[in-house]
Amino acid sequence: MAQRDAPPEVQARAQELRDQLHYHNYRYYVLDDPVISDQEFDRLLQELSKLEAAYPGLVTPDSPTQRVGAAPLDKFDTAPHRVPMLSLENAFSDGEAREFEDRLKRFLRIMEETFDYVVEPKMDGVAVELVYEQGRLLVGSTRGDGYRGENVTQNLKTIHTIPLALLSRDLPAPDLLEVRGEVYMDLGDFKKLNDERLARGEPAFANPRNAAAGSLRQLDPAITAARPLKIFCYGIGLVEGRSFATHWDVLQALKTWGLRINPLIDRRRGIEEAIRYHRDLEHQRHGLPYEIDGVVIKVNDLALQERLGAKARSPRWALAYKFAATQATTRVKDIMVNVGRTGAVTPMAVMEPVQVGGVTVSRATLHNEDEVARKDVRVGDTVLIQRAGDVIPEVVKVIVEDRPAGAQPFQMPRACPVCGTPLVRPPGEAVTRCPNPDCRGSLRRAILHFAGKSAMDIDGLGEKIIDQLMDQGLVEGIADLYRLTEADLTLLERFAEKSAGNLIDSIEKSKKPSLARFIYALGIRYVGEATAQLLAQHFHAFEALRTAGEDELLTIEGIGPQVAKGIRDFFDSARNQELLDNLLMVISIKPPAKPAVSPLAGKTFVFTGGLSRLSREEAKAQVTARGGKVSSSVSAKTDYVVAGADPGSKYAKARDLGVTILDEDAFEELLNKV
């Protein structure tokens, strides 16, 4: 079909929509301060998609519709950096930081004066370069060897905090801009991602940096798109059509162009002030949602930077002042086991309290029986432990040379430390469990999880109160929470009337959860927050999830066999049935907001034959991204068969059954209807 050019008013409207969408994307993802609702945003995006579908010539590479959906690559091209991406010289002590300033003075022959510095958190992620020409993102690449990296443009485009086009409302965008920044993953997102990977039987990433690097180096951008990556920009390589006096000015300009700058970046006069910033940030470090491994101190004056220049691998005008390692050694006093909400029994090292990265720790998880055996941790051992962000510290290794004579290998207890029931460990599983559904250890954890902030959010229902409620026999199951009265609570030790009233209020308030929260609150094995969201989006109604078979669960992108089985097992248990019946008598789940509906939502597709413009993987991803399902065989339940070149027997079967058959063009047209 010949392509028609869009009439001028349509072209103008498309441009206007693109500008608005870029701006609102920036408000939402970069400033975290949206000025329109999600629905309005979706409406604008839909309007643009429709125009682009009608006039494909309107699609520009920087169109907000182009964030996802690029085809997988065979390999990455190399991308040269016009200005090399250098690394930084490290310092590990205040003394070394002072030497840095002394070197600056000697080099510049400035003896009395001191310097203005820009001080920045040193992000622990992956360095990237973004090249904007005439304000549009053209190429994005990794650092590589500093001179040439990998062209990962289509992956970077999936990151919402990376603008596809620079904003030029307040400051015209330069002709050429090479921006540098760090792509990273928030700790919370990292943990969620790992939980989901483990649930699917995939290996966990060792740390957020590896997760970010691995996600960025995917040949299929659909995978990168599903990973929660973010960026902070911290400098430029080259800029044409604009000049700056200071690094601080550069950062301010980047901000006005819509690039995301870490709000903790600041200015300090003199090295002592910069050292103080380092100390302050080291204290704040573990409260941050992402990992940083130090502070970067940069000479602010660009003329001075120019004069200072660079050594072989690092500029003379910057220093990475690293934080002390978050590892420490201590002694294991005991190895205890904890009973989790699903009955999982986890060994835990109880240690002499030790400072690690600014906090005192006295416990470290040992994960499971095999892990204890692999690391051979014994009571009395000296161990190296580490903290990764805010997660529970873990034992890295035993210092075997320091092992006291007679230290015995750890043995998993045979019986549950809470209820005494013999523990079980199914063949092929790493986890040991207490099989007693009435185990108070599991119940206690289950209630704690149910009441948690991301679950039913029952404010004020903490461990101590749960223990008291259970001890008094007031709560023997989750549903009992909703039978509590103020009078019951005032019977508890140290429970004032006011706090009793508050707790009853928060229990009352929790009666109208969203579907996703409710699902998450149930504590179904392998169902974390993200999976609960997926389930809520797919099923809309709780009953539909409750009765869904494993087959249906498996059609949901992101849910594998293990998770599907976990869900089915949960709903098949008679005691859970009873719990749900009781809960649903008092709880009314808020129906989920209807997402922008694509005509593909809920429809089942079968592919046969080769498509010329899309890989099979991409075509499938496009369908599932719009809420559709892909099946491998044609049946009366099939809504569409997409037939490419040389279709197989599925084509004939579809025809016999009267299933709608789409050719590639018709399929793409359908996809474009949002």
The binding site for ligand IVH (CB under 6 A) comprises 86-88, 120, 122-123, 127, 143, 182, 234-235, 296, 315, 318, 320
Considering 50, 75, 105, 122, which one is annotated as catalytic? 122
Number of C-beta neighbours around residue 251 at 10 A: 23
**Residue among 120 and 381 whose Cβ is closer to ligand IVH:** 120
**Residue among 318 and 451 whose Cβ is closer to ligand IVH:** 318
Q: Is 59 left (phi over 0), alpha (psi -120 to 50) or beta?
A: beta
Gap between the Cα atoms of 562 and 571, Å rounded:
15
**Residue among 69 and 235 whose Cβ is closer to ligand IVH:** 235
Gap between the Cα atoms of 74 and 200, Å rounded:
26
What is the C-alpha radius of gyration for the chain, rounded to an integer number of angstroms? Answer: 29
**Least distance (Å) between residue 181 CB and ligand IVH:** 8
The strand ranges marked E within 190-251 are: 229-240
**Least distance (Å) between residue 385 CB and ligand IVH:** 26
Q: Decide if 122 is catalytic.
A: yes
Gap between the Cα atoms of 343 and 442, Å rounded:
5
Taking 3-state DSSP, the helix, strand and coil percentages for the chain, each rounded to the nearest 5, stand at 40, 20, 40
Contact predicate 421/415, CB 8 Å: yes
**Least distance (Å) between residue 292 CB and ligand IVH:** 8
Helix (H, G, I), strand (E, B) or coil at 279: helix
Gap between the Cα atoms of 231 and 92, Å rounded:
26
The dihedral formed by the CA atoms of 625, 627, 632 and 634, expressed in degrees to the nearest 10: -140
**Least distance (Å) between residue 123 CB and ligand IVH:** 4
**Residue among 101 and 618 whose Cβ is closer to ligand IVH:** 101
Identify which of 609, 617, 600, 604 has the alpha carbon closest to the alpha carbon of residue 652. 609
Gap between the Cα atoms of 113 and 103, Å rounded:
13
**Least distance (Å) between residue 106 CB and ligand IVH:** 20
**Residue among 235 and 343 whose Cβ is closer to ligand IVH:** 235
Identify which of 359, 25, 418, 73 has the alpha carbon closest to the alpha carbon of residue 217. 73
**Residue among 87 and 382 whose Cβ is closer to ligand IVH:** 87
**Least distance (Å) between residue 161 CB and ligand IVH:** 15
**Residue among 86 and 324 whose Cβ is closer to ligand IVH:** 86
Gap between the Cα atoms of 515 and 94, Å rounded:
52
CA distances from 164 to 150, 222, 361, 590, 606 (A): 19, 17, 44, 36, 34
**Least distance (Å) between residue 78 CB and ligand IVH:** 18
Contact predicate 97/275, CB 8 Å: yes
Identify which of 70, 71, 66, 69 has the alpha carbon closest to the alpha carbon of residue 45. 66
Please give the DSSP secondary-structure letter assigned to residue 373: H
**Least distance (Å) between residue 294 CB and ligand IVH:** 8
Q: Is 266 left (phi over 0), alpha (psi -120 to 50) or beta?
A: beta
**Residue among 120 and 664 whose Cβ is closer to ligand IVH:** 120
Could you give the residue numbers annotated as active site?
A: 122
